[in-house]
Amino acid sequence: MKRILLILMMLTQAIWVFGLRAEKSSTELLKNIKTDLIASKGDQQIEPGHNSCEPFCKDIIVELDQNGTATITAADIYNGSTENCEIASIAIDKSSFGCEDIIDGKEPVTHVVISQVYGGGGISGSIFTNDFIELFNSGTTTVDLTGWSVQYASSTGTSWVVTELSGSIQSGHYYLIQQAAGGGGFVNLPSPDAVGTINMAASNGKVLLSNTTTVQSGSCPSGSQIIDLIGYGTANCFETSPTSTLSSTTAAIRKSNGCQDTDNNFEDFNIADPLPRNSATAFAPCILSYTGVPVTLTVIDLEGNESTCVANVNVIDKIAPVITTNGDSEINTDFGVCWANVEIFAASSDNCEVGAPIGIRSDGEPIDAPYPVGVTTITWNVTDINGNEAEEVIQTVTVNDIELPVITAEDQTVSAEAALCTALINLNASASDNCGVDDPIGVRSDGEILGAPFPVGITTIIWNVTDINGNEAETAIQTITVTDDEAPEVFTKNAIIELQPGGSYTLSSGEIDDGSFDNCGIASKTLDKTLFTEDDEGENMVILTVVDLSGNENSAEATVTVIVNREEGCVEAKAKDMILVLDRNGTASLKVNQVDDGSFTNCSNRIVSRELEKSLFTCADLGEQTVSFKAIDSDGNTGETRIKVTVLDETAPIIRNFPRININLGADETYILTDLGEDANISDNCSIESVIQSPEPGTVYDTAGTYSILLKATDTSGNVAERTVTLSIRKNTNNRLADDNEPNGEGNVEHSDLDTMSDQDQVSANSEINLENQLLREIISNGFKIYPNPANHETNILVNLVGESNVEIRIFDAAGRLVFSEESFEEQSFTRSIQLDGLSSGLYNVVVKVNHQFLQGRLIKK
């Protein structure tokens, strides 16, 4: 019996190894087997008619054709029989196969892993210039990486650095993420699918893949958001065990082309030369063992006995898909932009099943993104569901720019400056182009520079420009009309009034006004409705009318919302309006017991606390405002009302002791009075509005004697302080002081405490005063002086005034754009320092308006 089994086993092996086909008839094959069996049994022969009949089957592999079909016959899987009977027939239950019969041994899964880590990019000894992290899709479905991230931390660190991902990764494909570059290396990475700036350590570290972009925390994060993790070298976070230490020439590479994943970093990764792979790398699916399609072979002998066996038919597909596109395109840019929306179409066909082809643009942008001027290529590829990759198709898109630039220069109508027949205009001409253009250049019809004041009437400006591609715009003509009329500008804000049933509230214009102004001053602000009761519940439209000092008026609307608290209130808060006077420090405090005017509760035994919305007031609060007052009873019930708080400043400025001024003059010398207010120690609890000196700066003294100089300081609330300074002038007949060290013989100024100075200190003080007198003397004829000029970082504008004046200083660049503006009321000559760091080098026009007179000069910025 043992011999029989041995013969059967040998026969089975021979058929399997050599692919034995039915070269003899079924009967002859059966007879041979029968003869061997009889010979082996001896006296235990198996007689004909025995009912045991056992066929043998063999597994085979078949390939689908272009139509996605394949056929087999019984002979393809029949591998002989062990029975000593003659076979009447053999048959199979399935002979035709299609794409649906391809079995990959697993359900579709989503499985993205970290397939490679390299931190030695750009350091000494490295080949590649950049660090990189590589992902691999070992699953069977495409995975969208939008909203995912890779994150890195040092070997024992807790701070994770994030690189956000986008796009998708197909089954069996890689995804390359370029990181920071070093100074070494000489080979660039393949085109990355994502770019980050992480500076990874070469030897030790840890990298995780997360399905969010949220920065992880701790030395070893965990949770469902962690898709994969690798620790290398001495990292304190890893899967089971970290990999070995890496270097500038080695990377951690996941085994089996990225397919092995046992959740053990040490077992799953090899340490080898870095091999960066991107999404363009050849398709590398993970192959799992599988059984194929079961096919049953039925054998019937001459006696009618029936036996079966099962073979596994493995159906495979090696036919590559085909990509078609809508062809190359050449198109002009869309109107107004430097790109074009282009209809791009690509489709794929396959004998089984294939998804849409994936296109990669040469500029890295998405396929449906606009296409820039020039030539952009699209590389199309696709892999069918069985891992066959199509032949690459390249599509070309050419976008041409034929659009001219456009100049925008809106006509302007402005009012003249108060009491003047001119106005300064901030010109706003601009140019636009679909691909880029510089600022336009303008020429005025009156021949003046663009920044000069415009006269009453009509002035035209002709503008032109050429874009970056050499296309010249159509000429634009801008009209500037200056009229002699002005009205206030009115700005409003909405208000909310809360009332108790039966209550009322009087609204002031200040609660609606939101910074209305007029260049000549405002005479009055009035509301068309001020008293509101519960009958006005809801939204009410009010009109704020502002009248300036010249009788011109303007109005604007605002919404006043009246809310009536109709719920039965337990607490009635009663409070009185208050007037506060700021102290010497510019502050005033308001206490709840000063405000409370008999608040009471109907629901509890007493009021336990009171609250003010605001209790500390400063100079910023001058004037009238409303403040919330709340009363709270022992049960926590609250009542609220609003009071008017008027903040006043009645504290005058302080002019501290000013030294006596002693002047020594030569026989032929004179003294010009300087601005003593700049040297005086003047302070106020809020702020100083003006300092007036009488006689005014610039007064000339040529006679010995004692004079009184009055300094008058006024704060912003109209409080006034005065102090008299004594000026003593002595004449020296020998003209000792008039030497070459005193420019133009202006003389020396001695304060009383100069007597205690050293000789060197007095020379320095005298020189500074002589320099000031010299500058003042120079501007008497010029009106104002710019120094230094040319200037680099800072210049000064020294303006000579005969008396109190409204002064405006404006600076324009060569294109007529306003780059500096300042307006002030000055009582005497002054010097203004101008910072130039923000200006480009070039020529600037300086316009100084003193009352009704325009003065012009040129400034050169180095």
Note the pLDDT tens digit of each residue in 327-377: 999 999 999 899 999 999 999 999 999 999 999 999 999 999 999 999 999
Statement to judge: residues 660 and 712 lie in one domain: yes
**Boundary residue ending a domain (338, 369, 400):** 400
Domain-located, residue 613: no
Domain of 135: which CATH number? Answer: 2.60.40.1260
Q: Which strand (E) or helix (H) includes residue 522? A: strand 522-527
Statement to judge: residues 117 and 149 lie in one domain: yes
Statement to judge: residues 788 and 854 lie in one domain: yes
* 733-746 confidence digits (pLDDT tens): 654 333 333 333 23
Statement to judge: residues 14 and 85 lie in one domain: yes
Domain-located, residue 629: no
Please, are residues 852 and 419 in contact by the beta-carbon 8 Å criterion?
Answer: yes
Statement to judge: residues 746 and 830 lie in one domain: no
What pLDDT score was predicted for residue 83?
57
Statement to judge: residues 260 and 121 lie in one domain: yes
Backbone φ, ψ for residue 564 (5° rounding): -105, 120
CA distances from 51 to 31, 33, 48, 280, 385 (A): 16, 16, 9, 62, 47
Domain of 795: which CATH number? Answer: 2.60.40.2550
Task: Specify the residue for token string 């504290």.
Answer: 651
Domain-located, residue 560: no
Domain-located, residue 710: yes
Strands (DSSP E) found in 36-77: 55-57, 60-63, 69-71
pTM of the predicted model as reported, rounded to 2 decimal places: 0.32
For 73-87, 363-377, 527-541, 717-731, which range has the lowest pLDDT when averaged over its residues? 73-87
Statement to judge: residues 793 and 743 lie in one domain: no
Domain-located, residue 579: no
Please, are residues 288 and 312 in contact by the beta-carbon 8 Å criterion?
Answer: no
**Boundary residue ending a domain (400, 421, 451):** 400
Signed CA dihedral, 816, 819, 824, 827: sign only:
negative
Please, are residues 220 and 235 in contact by the beta-carbon 8 Å criterion?
Answer: no
Domain of 473: which CATH number? Answer: 2.60.40
Statement to judge: residues 795 and 701 lie in one domain: no
Statement to judge: residues 247 and 307 lie in one domain: no
Statement to judge: residues 244 and 342 lie in one domain: no
Those residues with Cβ within 8 angstroms of residue 224's Cβ, 6 or more apart along the chain or in another chain: none
How many domains does the chain contain in total? 6
* 186-213 confidence digits (pLDDT tens): 999 999 999 999 999 999 999 999 999 9
Domain-located, residue 707: yes
Domain-located, residue 604: no
* 292-332 confidence digits (pLDDT tens): 799 999 999 888 888 999 988 888 888 999 999 999 999 99
Domain-located, residue 641: no
Domain enclosing residue 727, as ranges? 654-771
Statement to judge: residues 342 and 248 lie in one domain: no
What pLDDT score was predicted for residue 856?
78
* 767-824 confidence digits (pLDDT tens): 333 433 433 333 333 478 899 999 999 999 998 887 788 888 989 887 778 899 998 8
Please, are residues 323 and 75 in contact by the beta-carbon 8 Å criterion?
Answer: no
**Boundary residue ending a domain (400, 425, 441):** 400
* 626 C-beta neighbours (distance < 10 Å), count: 18
Statement to judge: residues 684 and 742 lie in one domain: yes
Question: What is the SS3 assignment for 782?
Answer: helix
User: Which of the four pLDDT bands, split at 50, 70 and 90, describes residue 222?
Assistant: very high
Those residues with Cβ within 8 angstroms of residue 234's Cβ, 6 or more apart along the chain or in another chain: 155, 156, 203, 204, 242, 245
